[in-house]
Each structure stands twice: as C-alpha cells, then as structure tokens.
Amino acid sequence: MASSLYSNAQHVDFESVLGMDDPGMVSMFEALVASGLRGFLGCPAIVYEDALVDFFENASVRSGVVISTVGGQLVEISEKLFAETFELPIDGLGDLSEMPKDAIFDARSIVSLSGEPINLSGRKNQMKMPFRLLCDIVAKAISVKAGSFNAITVEKFSLLTAVVCGVKMNWAKFLFGVLKKMVSAKSKQAKGFAIQISLLLATKSLLIL
C-alpha cells in the first residue's frame, strides 16, 4: 500500500535543471520558478512510508482543516501552514475555471511541436519536449489524478497554461484543495504529495527518525 502513495512522486532539483545545456528546458523550469512553485516542487525528497500510510488511513477534513493521527499523535494541517511551509503564492486565481481563454489560446501555440495550436483532446506528443515534461509534472505532482499521463485534459492544460503564460495563481488555495480531496472519504482523487506531506510531518516533529 505504501508504494502506491508515492509511486508518482515528483521532485525537481532546480539547481541542476537550471544549469542544463538546453535553453528550452531551462526556460520551462524558469517559468516554474516564476510561478511560485519552487518551494513545493523542490522541497527535500524524503518519503516516510509508515507515516504516510498512517496519515491517509486516519485523515479527514474538518472546518477546512486536514486532520489526522500519525503514530497516535494528532496532526492538523491548515491552508496557512501549507502555504507558509512551501512559500506558495496566496494571490491570484484559485479555480482553474477562471483561467483566461486568451491565455489558453496562446499556450496552445506556444507548446506546439508543429507550430499549429494543439488539440486539447489529443495527446502530449503534440508538444515540444520541455512541455511534455511539464505536462508530466503538473499531472503527477500538482493535480495528482489517476489515469493516462499521455492524454491532455482540460485541467492539466489549464495548469500548464498558468505556468507557460505566467498567469497568477493562488497556489496555496489550489494545492491545499487537492490535498483536501485526497483525504475526502468519497473522493476518487489519487493519493499524492508524498514528499510534501512527509516534510510537513517532519516539521511538526511527528516522526521518529
């Protein structure tokens, strides 16, 4: 069970990737930094398997706060704590439905391998290589949805657009919302954020290392 909680975990070593000899890749990762996601995607890549199993087995949402027990100790994760831990932006769009249509239109051409606007019901092989990688990052580390990582979805492309076109996002609200869906009993949201939850638990001194 534990492996399923972190099999799609993504960690970005920004110091290394920003030094790559590939202008396209460097530009894409610079856009990720500018978006405000560096602290979330580049936090220490440590996973505490037993603690994660405990966390998800006992987690629920109460009054907008994620509550669980790990090793018998109470864990409370608020949106404020989440934002501060990962230095996430708290201003901007909090819902992908608010993504400007003109930004999506521009992004369809910017990421295109052929130069023609990509088909939003197609697959990521329509994209230039840096943006295929970005598509994987947003699918696995941000939206954390089960299913094919090759298919382009409206949600994935909206997230990609936010990064590529520099659309200001309230990443704290959006990502904390994803976490709340993960621990909702009726949600089919895949489990994720293994690295980030491990850091939160370690920060709260709940892990016996």
Measured at the CA of 84, the angle between CA 81 and CA 86, to 5 degrees, comes to 110
Per-residue pLDDT, 45? 82
Confidence check: pLDDT of 3 > 80? no
The pLDDT tens digits of the residues spanning 101-113 come to 999 999 999 999 9
Assigned token pair, 78: 């608020």
Q: How is 49-84 classified by DSSP, letter by letter?
A: HHHHHHHHHH-EEETTEEEEEETTEEEEE-HHHHHH
Among 207, 105, 86, 115, smallest CA distance to 164 is for 105
Average pLDDT over residues 134-150: 80
Which range, 6-15, 66-75, 141-150, has the best average confidence (pLDDT)?
66-75
Residue 208 has pLDDT above 50, yes or no: no
Q: Are 198 and 209 in contact (CB under 8 A)?
A: no
C-alpha closest to that of 36 among 206, 175, 156, 157 = 175
Q: How many other β-carbons are positioned within 10 Å of the β-carbon of residue 72?
A: 8
Q: Please state which of the ranges 18-22, 70-74, 203-207 shows the lowest mean pLDDT.
A: 203-207
Span 180-205, average pLDDT: 82
Global pTM reads 0.90
pLDDT at res. 63 = 92
Average pLDDT estimate for 38-51: 89
> From the centroid of its chain, how far is CA 127?
20
The domain ranges of the chain are 2-203
Taking the C-alpha atoms of residue 58 and residue 69, their distance in angstroms, rounded to an integer, is 6
**pLDDT of amino acid 151:** 80
- In order of 110, 165, 175, the CA distances from 187 in angstroms are 34, 30, 15
The residue among 146 and 30 whose pLDDT is bigger is: 30
What mean pLDDT is predicted for residues 46-69?
Answer: 91
CB 18, CB 26: distance < 8 Å: yes
> To the nearest 5 percent, what fractions of the chain are helix, strand and coil?
50, 10, 40
Task: Give percent of the chain with pLDDT exceeding 90.
Answer: 56
The whole-angstrom separation of Cα 134 and Cα 103 is 17
CB 51 within 8 A of CB 207: yes
Neighbours of 147 (CB within 10 A): 9
8 pLDDT band (50/70/90 cuts)?
low
